[in-house]
Structure 1
Amino acid sequence: MKYINKTQAVLLLKDGTIFYGKSIGISGTTFGEIAFNTGTTGYQEIFTDPSYFGQIMVTTNAHIGNYGVNSNEVESDGVKIAGLVCKNFSFNYSRPDATESLYDYFSKHGLVVISDVDTRALVSYIRDNGAMNGVICTDGTPIEELKDKLAAMPDMKGLELASKVSTKASYYFGSEDASYRISALDLGIKTNILRNLANRDCYIKVFPFDTPFEELKSFNPDGYFLSNGPGDPDPLHGVQEVARQILNDNKPLFGICLGHQIIALANGISTYKMFNGHRGINHPVKNLVTGKGEITSQNHGFAVVREDLDQHPDFELTHVHLNDGTVAGMRMKSKNCFSVQYHPEASPGPHDSSYLFDQFIANIKASKN
């Protein structure tokens, strides 16, 4: 059994609100936008999801760390969240196939964590007042000094973060003998997306976010993929231009989350920063094409403006979020292109939407005939 002598820690929000808690033993300060996730499981996948880069994660599940960490369940090369706020942090774990404790994993990455926080009150406050920047401090830095540093921190709106998490060099995933070749633009791609494509007989070449179209095309792909990722899509003008060139090439294109927003912007459809965003594994979505409902895994703080989409003659709304009516999916009428604002690869979450990968493969097959 591991025991830590917890010391006082604070979470300071940009509007001056302070929540008190305890340090789990990793000293320091960390800044980021406060975001909360309502998932009851899959914390390791959440913490390693590149889409969370630049965000301090608040977990609404009461217990974090209780099943440890498994090295096969990461979605990137390491922890991507800026910090963690939780109620109960478990230093000990009971899952037989865990490879280490969450505390040891965080210690390797130097992640600053505050526990023993009234997370219900914190989430309620964020829901009422909107997502905002914050700082976790576990090293005793004076509040006034933290306020000054926090005031100088840029807001998420207008912030380009894909370059911070994208691969620096191209790499391959899957079997070279696979039936289909995919050029994937890495804006913060999750590993389970690549697994889903590889399991459907695809050989994927993953490219850095700023790769020009001609290089993507040089792989001679059967289809293109634009990945999820962090930050505001609007500053990614180069990626938007690449999306336009992909569409002109007229091969199948599939976009997820940030990739979905890029496709919209590339066609003159606006995006906006949401008041709180959608982050969890039980978000209800209706497929307007089939009439069926899906329980989905979601993680985004920006969305496509529905009014712009409805007015665009070449786009069709295909999926809608049932909680607030926001755009959850769309497709083009004149191009072999569709996208969704959620995560069909799950990790964590339900698998209701995995059919979207099959739809992408079906589009590729049809285009090759």
Structure 2
Amino acid sequence: MRLIVLGVVAGLATVVATVAIPLLTTERAQRVTVSAGVVTSQSTSVEVSTPEPTPEADRDPEADSLPKPKVPVGPPGLKVLDHQFRERGMVRVDKSALQPFVFRVASYNVLGASHTSGKGARKGYAGYAARTPGQVGLIEAHRASVVGLQEFQHPQARQFAGLRGSAYGVYPGLQLGEALSQNSIAWRTDTWSVVETHTIGIPYFGGRPVQMPYVLLRHLGSGRTVWFGNFHNPANIGGNHAGWRAAATRIEADLANRLGADGTPVVMTGDFNDRAEFACPFSARSGMHSPDGAATVNGVCRTPRGMSVDWIFGSGSLQWSDYVQDWSSRDRRLSDHPIIAGTATVPSIHDPSKCRRAKARAGMQIYCPAS
């Protein structure tokens, strides 16, 4: 074996190879020389540099195809702005919340069809078919966009729908059968849209509960909502029903409190068959007031002169004006009741002086105190 190795080395005697071995971790390198079978080494200084990567070697084709992240520019988004103002105790509101809005409401007992027909027909009054067009004209003359109707019996509801069609929404009207049409709420569909419809049992003759309506309507001009209820408490026909009227008044006042607990305005209309006997306990229990001035203030009930048994009441936040008690209805033999009407102004939800405007990507926003 030793002879073979020596032979190989001798055969390479004329070949000299020089190999430079780079050391990347230092700035020096060993030069190794193999010559005539003798290996020698010499330390020499070399410069070590890292070559610049070529663009082709460094590119990731898949990364190039991905969308580049967008850096937000300009005003913040709504989520960011909402968070910033929420930390300051403010919430974003629609501009309609800062604007008051106005509507006109009426209450009208139209004298039921059954009261002007047959043996017991009311003397001096024509049948319902002759009276209904004049009653509709009277409602519209008073510019009422919402009206509570009592004794609005099924034939009258059907004729009303034929005269005005889709110009008015009516509840219950023709929706819940003949018995329940008598107490209905009608609203102009160019001013209001219906959100919710309900009925509540009110004690009538002998305490028998009769379902009477209340509805939540949205005012199209402002986008805000108002509750409306309409009632007919029992008269002293076939006995003294004062006790049942008092029970009905408590139910109606408690309903008003429940509906208005979240700040939504409430308006109630009706033939309550009482004057101060209704107005005083109702206003004391509900905190509502009427456009003709009936209210309970600091425990003292105030009532107007010339009261009738027909009433409109609204939440304490409402401002009333232009009240009218129009007895031309009786003079024209349209009904034995007047039509009454008033203008309600609903104030803004927030105090504009405490609100702030801020620009977002979606446009200018309004923030007001949360409480």
Q: Same fold (TM over 0.5)?
A: no
The structure whose RCO (Cα within 8 Å, separation 6+) is larger is 2
TM-score normalised according to structure 1 size: 0.29
